[in-house]
Structure 1
Amino acid sequence: MAMSFPDPSDVFNFNLTITPDEGFYKGGVFKFTFKVNANYPHEPPKVLCTQKIYHPNIDLEGNVCLNILREDWKPVLNINSVMVGLQYLFLEPNADDPLNKDAAVVLRENRRTFEANVQKAMRGGSVNGVVFELVAKK
C-alpha cells in the first residue's frame, strides 16, 4: 500500500494505491481516493476507486462496499482500519455483500470463470460488454 497527498497541506484528502501480491487480483495496481470530512471519527471517510474494475464489492462507478464504511463504522476505527479492510477485499472478495451483482454471481458459481474475468478486466479487456481499465502492472 502507498499513500500520496495531491495537496500536501490537506491531510484530509489523499490517495491510496493497493498492489495485491496474492489472490485473484495479484499483479494489479488499484487506486482509491479518501475524503475525510469534519465529522470524522463519528462518520467514516468517503472512499472511491478511481478506476473501473471487475470486483463484486466495487461498482462500475468506483463505490466501495465495505461494512466498516457503512453500518459497522465506529469512532474507535481509524483510517488504517479502512485501508486494511480494502486490502482484504482484494484477497477475499465478498460475494455475499455485493455492489457488482454480476461479478458476485460468477464468484459464487464458478471461481475459475471469475478468476479469468478478473484477469481479462485487469488487462483492460471486456467482460459482459463492459470495458475495464488496464490496471495490471506492465
Structure 2
Amino acid sequence: MLKIWSMKKEQQKAENSDGAAAGAAGGPKKKKVTAAQLRVQKDLSELSLGTTMRTDFPDPDNILSFILYIEPDEGMYKGGRFSFTFNITPNFPHEPPKVQCREKIYHPNIDLEGKVCLNILREDWKPVLNLNAVIVGLQFLFLEPNASDPLNKEAAEDLRSNREGFKRNVRCAMMGGSVKGEGFDRVAI
C-alpha cells in the first residue's frame, strides 16, 4: 500500500515541479499514473507466487503487460512450463485482464490459439477480484482440467471418455509430439 501512495506522491511532486517548468518552456507534461496502474501495483505487491510461478516484465516501465510462468508440481501437467501473457486495459479492474497462453498445448480449457476458458476472465469477473484470483484460477486449470466448459472440445471429450488416454495425450503433447494429427509445443522441462 505504501508503494501506491508513494507513487502517487511522486507523481504529484513531479507535476508541481514540472508543471511550472513545462508550462514556461512549452514542453510536454509527465504522464499521470492511472487508476488501473495503481490497482495493478497493489495487486502485484500482494501476490504470493510460491516456487511454481514467476512473473516477468518485458518492459519494466509498463506494469499493465507482463508474462506469468507456471510450472505445475503436481497433476497431469507436472513437469511442464507454461507461460501466459497478461494485458491489462486502462479499465481494470472494471474489465478483466486479457490472458493468453503463449504455447500450443493440449488442454480442454485452452484452445490451440492460446485462448483461456476461465469463468472469472469472462462473465464472472467482478472488480473486487484481483490478479491473484486469476493466477490461482490458471493454476487450478492445470490441477483439474474442466471438461464441462471446454474451448478445446476434442481434449474435453478425450478427458471425459478416457482419462488414462487423456493423460497419455497430455504427456505426448508436452514432449512436443502430435496428438490426433495436431503438433504441440514442447513444454516439458
State the match for 2:44 in structure 1.
Answer: none
- The corresponding residue for 1:63 is 115
Higher RCO (C-alpha under 8 Å, 6+ residues apart): 1
Number of residue pairs matched by the alignment: 137
Secondary structure (helix, strand or coil) at the match of 2:120 reads helix
Asked whether 1:14 is paired with 2:66, we answer yes
**Percent identity (aligned):** 67
Deviation, 1:63, is 0.1
Residue 48 of structure 2: aligned partner: none
1:101-133 deviation line (CA, Å, top 9, x unaligned): 000001011100000000000000000000000
Across the aligned residues of Structure 1 and Structure 2, the Cα RMSD in angstroms comes to: 0.3
Match in the other structure for 1:98: 150
CA distance in structure 2 between the aligned counterparts of 1:16 and 1:41, rounded to whole angstroms: 18
Q: Which has the higher helix share?
A: 2
| Residues 48-82 of structure 1: CA deviation (Å, up to 9, x unaligned) | 00000000000000000000000000000011110
Q: What CA distance in whole angstroms lies between the structure 2 residues aligned with 1:17 and 1:111?
A: 26
Q: Greater CA radius of gyration, 1 or 2?
A: 2
Gaps of 5+ in 1: none
Secondary structure of the 1:135 match is coil
Normalised by the length of structure 2, the TM-score is 0.72
Q: TM-score, normalised by structure 1?
A: 0.99
Confirm or deny that 1:47 pairs with 2:126. Answer: no
Q: Give the aligned residue type for 2:148.
A: D
